[in-house]
Amino acid sequence: MTIDEIVGEIRDGMTIGIGGWGSRRKPMALVRALLRSPVRDLTLVTYGGPDVGLLCRAGKVRKVVYSFVSLDSIPLEPHFRAARQAGEVTTTELDEGMFLLGLQAAAWRVPFLPTRAGLGTDVLRLGADIRTVKSPYDDGEELVAMPALELDVALVHMNRGDRGGTGQYLGIDPYFDDLYCLAAKRRFLSVEKIVDTDDFLKEGPAQSLQINRLMVDGVAETPGGAHFTSCLPDYDRDEAFQREYAATAKSEDAWDAFRAKYLDVSEADYQRAVKP
Amino acid sequence: MSTDTTRTGPATRAEICAVACAEAWRGDGEILANPIGTIPTIGGRLAKATFEPLLVMTDGEAMLVENILPLGVDDPPKVVSGWNPYRKMFDVVFNGPRHILMGATQLDRFGNQNIAYIGPADRPTAQLLGFRGTPGNTINNRTSYWIPKHSPKVFVEHVDVVSGVGYDRAAELGETAARFHRLPRVVSNLGVFDFETPDHTMRLVSTHPGVTVDDVVAATGFELATPSSVETTRLPTDEELRLIREEIDPLGLGEREVPS
């Protein structure tokens, strides 16, 4: 598939899970394709990075389900901050571990998973409508019942993939991308490079095959598709570009110029524009 | 990058704070020491290099490392003893053997902590980090706090949002739910604190050299328990100073967080 064909499957109001973590291995080419599309009113479910900031700034987002939104080397995501502080998006605020259990519950098709995380905090008070459950066993312990985070669509980015939908990560951290896929009705993978299935084990060990084709409905080859987030070992985060992006939160003119140069263009033109 | 390994002279405030942070892990033995921020990281690595050699520490990414890494130096040699990507970190968090030392935008007298946002939930005046892992940390693991700029804006009567669980809220949960909750220590640029009072409110343990009890009280926005005898925070030993200056923080990054 192409990234635009993938985004063509996304409808207004859908709940979209986005893989990666902060400003690391985000499916940015798919996010840019979403920015070019007419889709709106999205609910984003993600360990958030610039994916959230860009989609909020472009007015695509109704709700964000998150435990943080960060650019890592720049701790606070400026466009997400602006959208929150202007009251433009609603939120479900979660603990990082609760978020993991929400994806896991959806992946395992159970309504919730119990955890101690969240007890005693305002996570249980804030719009999230998260309830507790009493253990049916002799301990009788009261625990948080983290509800399943069911997704309409999952978007993830991997280092390598084949046409059948197997995905391989070659960095040091798998993040939670397989869980996003298992939690979603429709699952799409972008990859730095499509390889022959025979060649996977030349690229990395069998345990680097994090995503299997049971979990994936479509694959797009998008070299540089995680830029400007990191996609190690293929490339590190583009810190200079990230600073340029973050600075666009300071003025309308800077945002307009950034959008015209990098977002209102095709992915191929974007990649040409960011290559030194 | 040039390294400044020629720092001499008496211990700086930053170095005293780092040692006070290191002391948070004293007696912890074989657990994951998880410092977040510059001074806590210097402290954690110092504790492992000296009195708590069994501490398990990460490289700040996905590896567990056994050697003492220099702060701010790209790609230092690493003795890797484990793989601990984000996914597996939650195994440690939920399983328990972990003592985190992290920051707080607001902290109240019971140790309720906020890093999420300031102001109303639907339209905060300042969106901060979000809850991150703090709810899970505080209910599952020992959690200490580091405050680089002690002020009434940080040490507040009531936090706007509770992301980390304090002792009053833990007590409301009951003994079973709160059985892993413990806030051993708070370190600021002015002093060291704990919650070892009958109602678990914050207590001044020591002031750093040159800081008076009145300085601390004036910079604290709630009524602080101040025992009649308050010690002075201990100075780093010569060996601790050498380790900080030559091996752990050769670039002097601690000085940026707590200037002399």
- Which of A128-132, B147-151, B171-175 is least confident? A128-132
- Cβ of A121 and B138 within 8 Å? yes
The torsion angles phi and psi of B231, rounded to 5 degrees, stand at -80, 170
CB of A173 within 8 Å of a chain B CB? The answer is yes
Tokens of B240: 């601790």
Q: CB under 8 Å to B229, separation ≥6 — which residues? A: none
Position A118 confidence tier, pLDDT thresholds 50, 70, 90: very high
Q: What is the rounded average pLDDT for all residues in chain A?
A: 97
pLDDT at A190 over 90: yes
Q: Which of A100, A118, A174 sits opposite B135 (nearest CB)?
A: A118
Instruction: Determine, for residues B126 and A85 on separate chains, whether the beta-carbon distance falls below 8 Å.
Output: yes
The confidence band for B2, taking pLDDT boundaries of 50, 70 and 90, is very low
Residue B28 has pLDDT above 90, yes or no: yes
Candidate from B127, B136, B173 with C-beta closest to A81: B127
* Separation CA A101–CA A112 (nearest Å): 8
Q: Which residue has the tokens 């100073």?
A: B241
Q: Find residues 162-181 of chain B whose CB sits inside 8 Å of chain A.
A: 162-165, 169-170, 172-173, 176-178, 180-181
Picking from A48, A117, A118, A141, the residue whose alpha carbon sits closest to that of residue B92 is: A117
Please provide the size of chain A in residues: 276
Task: Report chain B residues whose CB lies below 8 A from the CB of A85.
Answer: 123-127
Tens of pLDDT, residue by residue over A243-273, are 999 999 999 999 999 999 999 999 999 999 9
Of A220 and A127, the one with more pLDDT = A220
Q: Which chain A residue shows the shortest CA-CA distance from B164?
A: A121
Quick check: A67 and B132 CB within 8 A? Answer: yes
- In this complex, the residue of A117, A141, A173 whose CB is nearest that of residue B86 is A173
Question: A85 and B177: CB-CB below 8 Å?
Answer: no
Residue with token string 């084709």: A213
Q: Is there a contact between A123 and B131 if contact means CB atoms under 8 Å apart?
A: yes
With an 8 Å Cβ cutoff, is B110 touching chain A?
Answer: no
Select from A121, A173, A174 the Cβ nearest to the Cβ of B163.
A121
pLDDT of residue B8: 87
Considering chain B, what is the average pLDDT of its residues?
Answer: 96
Q: Are strands B32-35 and B98-102 parallel, antiparallel or unpaired?
A: parallel
pLDDT tops 60 at residue A240? yes
Classify B58 as helix, strand or coil.
strand
> In chain B, whose CA is at the least distance from the CA of A47?
B132
Contact A156, A180 (CB under 8 A): yes
For B130, the token pair is 């979000």
Question: Could you tell me if the ipTM is greater than 0.90?
Answer: yes
Q: Do B173 and A120 touch (CB under 8 A)?
A: yes
In sequence order, the 6+-apart residues with CB closer than 8 A to the CB of A8 are A37
Contact B3, B247 (CB under 8 A): no
The per-residue pLDDT for B70 is: 97
- Mean per-residue pLDDT for A184-193? 98
CB B128 within 8 A of CB B118: yes
* Contacting residues for A189 by C-beta, under 8 A, at least 6 apart: A156, A157, A158, A161, A165, A167, A181, A211, A216, A218, A219, A220
Say yes or no: B91 contacts chain A, CB-CB below 8 A. no
pLDDT exceeds 90 at position A128: no
Instruction: Return the closest-CA partner of residue B109 out of B187, B50, B194, B2.
Output: B194
Length of chain B: 260
Q: Does B238 touch chain A (CB under 8 A)?
A: no
- Please tell me the pTM assigned to this model: 0.96
User: CB of B122 within 8 A of CB of A87?
Assistant: yes
Burial environment of residue A253 by CB neighbours within 10 A (0 to 12, 13 to 18, 19 or more): exposed
For residue B236, whether the previous peptide bond is cis, meaning omega lies within 30 degrees of 0, is no
Mutate to test the interface with B, among A23, A115, A119, A208 (most CBs of B within 10 A): A119
Amino acid identity at A165:
G
Mutate to test the interface with B, among A122, A123, A129, A169 (most CBs of B within 10 A): A122
Closest residue of B to A78, CA-based?
B127
**Are A172 and B61 inside 8 Å of each other by CB?**
yes
Q: DSSP letter for B236, please.
A: P
Q: Which residues of B107-125 are buried (b: 16+ CB within 10 A; e: fewer)?
A: bbbbbbbbbbbbeebeebe
Nearest to A21 among B86, B117, B134 (CB): B86
| pLDDT bracket for residue B6 (50, 70, 90) | low
pLDDT, residue A197, reads 98
The answer to whether residues B203 and B192 touch, using CB atoms and an 8 Å cutoff, is: no
Distance CA A142, CA A190 (A): 41
How confident is the model over B54-93, as pLDDT tens digits? 999 999 999 999 999 999 999 999 999 999 999 999 999 9
Residue B194: predicted pLDDT: 98
Pick the residue from chain A with its C-alpha nearest to B180: A116
Burial environment of residue A52 by CB neighbours within 10 A (0 to 12, 13 to 18, 19 or more): buried
Residue A106 reports pLDDT greater than 90: yes
Residue A233: C-alpha distances to residues A53, B20, B228 (Å)? 25, 38, 58
Distances (CA, A) of A234 to A159, A171, A220, A226, B3: 7, 8, 17, 10, 30
- Residue B225: phi and psi, rounded to 5, are -70, 120
Quick one: tokens of A186? Answer: 């429709």
Q: Averaged over A108-132, what is the pLDDT? A: 93
Q: Does A80 touch chain B (CB under 8 A)?
A: yes
Which chain A residues touch B178 with a CB distance below 8 Å?
A: 119-120
pLDDT at position A95: 97
* Cα B136 from Cα B108, distance rounded (Å): 19
Give dist(CA B14, CA B245) in Å, integer: 11
